[in-house]
Amino acid sequence: MSRISKLRTVPHFWWLFAIVLLLSGCAAGDRSGSYADNAPLSAFGPLTHDSQWYLSQIDNAAPEDRFALQVLATRRLIADGDNSQATAIQQQLAREAITPRQKVALRLLNALQLGKQGQSSKALNRIAGIDLRPLDSPTVQFYYRLQSELLLKTGQKTAAANSLISLDPYLSGDLVSKNEQQIWLLLKDSDSNTLKNYSNAAIRMKREKAAGWFELAQIAKASTNQSQLFADWQQRYPQHPAGAFFTPAAESQQPAITDSSGITATADIQKVAVLLPLSGKLAEPANALKAGLEQANLAAGNKLSFSYYDENSLPMPELLAKVQQNGAQLVIGPLQKNKVEQLSASHVAIPVLALNQLGNQPAADNLYYFSLSPEDEAAQIAQKIHEDGLKNPLLLLPSNALGDRTAAGFNSYWQSLEIGEATVAKFRSRDELLSLLRQKLGGSATGAPLQAGQVQSLADDPANDPNRVDAIFMLASAFEASNIKSSIDMMLGDSPVRPTYYLGSKSNSSGLRADVALALNGMQLGDMPWMLNRMPEEFAIAKTALPQASGDQLRLYAMGYDAAKLVSQLSELRQNPDMTMNGLTGILRVTTDGVILHDLFWTRYTNGQLATDESTLSQPAVQQPAQ
């Protein structure tokens, strides 16, 4: 069954129908009388007449109202299924649209018609990046309702709820309570991991009200300790409307990881049990983590006493019981995801800093998650592109599990910005990649116009086209990235504007050939500061401890180092989400649900070298001119 087919089943239909009713406005209202009765006239106010009535008023209307009457008529025609006449009026409007508001109105009509024709993804692309600031309240409301409906039709329930959260401040009266009910219904049916990603994005963007919705929806999915979690949520979000929709479930007899006193203070902890896969195929990565833990403890004056346990040696409940019997005050680990799953279902009263994350991890006062996941890195790359003012990124990803996880992480953040999904091009071979690039960037060989909502090519369109690809993120090695960039440059030919390029940790390579490094000029790269030669003394110490280590092993060393450094500050960081700590993996912070975030460090290639000048690194991205 397709995603859209699923939405038509009984559990989903009624709240989809409710959103459509809100979108259509008062379509069944009075269709007689003068439009002046509804003054001031808004192109996206309620539909109270049929299309011919609106068109009949144009000749006698004031100049400023004629465009709005045509928009209202087109909306009615689209609602009635008369696509031929609706398209004809839109063609006329395209010739008349001069002001920013009029151009936005045309894009909204295009998206509305595409959505009615079952082309919801194209419709979302069409309204991506609209500047809402100059718009009147009815148009903003229409935008958010349309966006929510389109997202819902593509199966993106959390994103649809996010649009309705943004709509809420523009409503009044009964519409507020109806909108909030729809938000809660969508969030209750959302995936836990998606909720976590949206919550983290909302916190980073200082969207406190949105964060409250997402966090409470996560609490509603927690299998245990809901009463305590809800009480903590109420303290952080007093008077939040979401509280009216949630009642904590009765507690189970044996809660998961928790402590009746709340978050355990970690400042004075000394005895730490470390669970790592010390045997088997992951023994080498475990040794890199162990080396990082030991070095951080040595640098801090050996304040911690580590006891190591092989996480493969016993079933997790028995291992945790043994750890507590031996007097451990805190646990670091385990590393393997299946072991973290087993731990989350076990009872342990002491804090745990797990070295991996789960898709639907339970939030609990004494459980923390620290990982180097591709989803988190991709979300930070999306954040960087947005902060640089770019709106239409193209992701070039391998067609494999890593590419899928990267796309999911990037779009989880991008969708939270309410500008639709980023365009993703996945490939299995170089030839397939070149074909995709020609399709996305090479222009139309026939010269035929592109369909509304389609991402436009740089080669065919002016620099101010709102749908033009303006950023490209590649999940590729440095050598692959240089080849891809060269291919794109050839395809774009004499185009006066180039996209801004972004690379992640996979592209960070030392010892590049001079021609490869020069081909990367202008490209921005995000990675741990540790891996960008920002901490040469610590790096030299690590190479002494692990002389053969490179790449992933050095990243795991940094993760172990930061895990040890975090121990004494875990509880304080969790209770103060704005508080940060400098680490080898980046600037560290802890969310209220215990997830450790580490911010990437950004640099760029200049003259074949990664820039080290702080003033250069702080500059925002700029559009690259043709060489």
* Rounded distance between C-alpha atoms, residue 276 and residue 339, angstroms: 10
Least confident of 15-29, 152-166, 212-226, 571-585: 15-29
CA–CA distance from 160 to each of 166, 417, 481 (Å)? 10, 11, 35
> Is residue 621's pLDDT more than 80?
no
Q: Which pLDDT does position 452 carry in this prediction? A: 30
Share of the chain above pLDDT 90, in %: 34
* Rounded distance between C-alpha atoms, residue 273 and residue 306, angstroms: 6
* Dihedral pair phi/psi, residue 310, rounded to 5°: -80, 115
* Dihedral pair phi/psi, residue 134, rounded to 5°: -85, 0
> Residues 475, 397: contact at Cβ < 8 Å?
yes
> Is residue 361's pLDDT more than 50?
yes
* Rounded distance between C-alpha atoms, residue 528 and residue 531, angstroms: 5
Which helix (H) or strand (E) segment is 75 a member of?
helix 63-80
How many Cα atoms within 13 Å fall on the side-chain side of residue 531? 27
CA–CA distance from 134 to each of 75, 100, 293, 375, 401 (Å)? 21, 8, 53, 35, 42
Confidence band of 467 (pLDDT split at 50, 70, 90): low
> Is residue 436's pLDDT more than 90?
no
* Rounded distance between C-alpha atoms, residue 396 and residue 473, angstroms: 6
**Could you say which DSSP state residue 82 is in?**
-
Q: Which residue has the higher pLDDT, 180 or 487?
A: 180
Q: Which pLDDT does position 612 carry in this prediction? A: 56
> What's the rounded mean pLDDT across residues 154-179?
91
Paired strand residues for 581: 588
> Is residue 260's pLDDT more than 70?
no
> What's the rounded mean pLDDT across residues 585-613?
85
User: Can you name the CATH fold of 3-155?
Assistant: 1.25.40
* Rounded distance between C-alpha atoms, residue 588 and residue 585, angstroms: 8
> What's the rounded mean pLDDT across residues 336-353?
86
DSSP-based three-state secondary structure for 510: coil
Model pTM greater than 0.75?
A: no
* Rounded distance between C-alpha atoms, residue 528 and residue 511, angstroms: 18
Q: Which pLDDT does position 373 carry in this prediction? A: 85
Look over the chain and give the mean of its residue pLDDT values, rounded to a whole number: 81
Q: Are strands 330-332 and 601-606 parallel, antiparallel or unpaired?
A: unpaired
* Rounded distance between C-alpha atoms, residue 516 and residue 574, angstroms: 43
> What's the rounded mean pLDDT across residues 594-615?
80
Residue type, 605: Y
Q: What is the pLDDT of residues 518-567, one digit of tens each?
A: 889 889 999 988 888 777 788 888 878 787 767 788 889 999 999 999 99
Please tell me whether the peptide bond between 625 and the residue prior to it is cis, using omega within 30 degrees of 0. Answer: no
Paired strand residues for 332: 274, 353
> Is residue 39's pLDDT more than 80?
no
> What's the rounded mean pLDDT across residues 302-328?
91
Least confident of 128-142, 216-230, 322-336: 216-230
> Is residue 443's pLDDT more than 70?
no
Q: Which residue has the higher pLDDT, 580 or 27?
A: 580
Q: Which pLDDT does position 441 carry in this prediction? A: 62
> What's the rounded mean pLDDT across residues 15-21?
41
> Is residue 3's pLDDT more than 90?
no
> Is residue 67's pLDDT more than 50?
yes
> Where are the CATH 3.40.50.2300 domain residues in the chain?
268-369+532-586, 378-444+455-528+602-625
* Rounded distance between C-alpha atoms, residue 10 and residue 154, angstroms: 17
**Could you say which DSSP state residue 154 is in?**
T
> Is residue 314's pLDDT more than 60?
yes
> What's the rounded mean pLDDT across residues 112-119?
90
User: Can you name the CATH fold of 378-444+455-528+602-625?
Assistant: Rossmann fold (3.40.50)
Confidence band of 17 (pLDDT split at 50, 70, 90): very low
Tokens of 227: 């009463």
> Where are the CATH 1.25.40.10 domain residues in the chain?
3-155
Q: Which pLDDT does position 169 carry in this prediction? A: 93
* Rounded distance between C-alpha atoms, residue 64 and residue 99, angstroms: 11
Q: Which pLDDT does position 41 carry in this prediction? A: 82
Instruction: With CA atoms as reference, report the closest residue to 44 among 83, 85, 76.
Output: 76
User: Can you name the CATH fold of 268-369+532-586?
Assistant: Rossmann fold (3.40.50)
> Is residue 460's pLDDT more than 60?
no
Q: Which pLDDT does position 498 carry in this prediction? A: 81
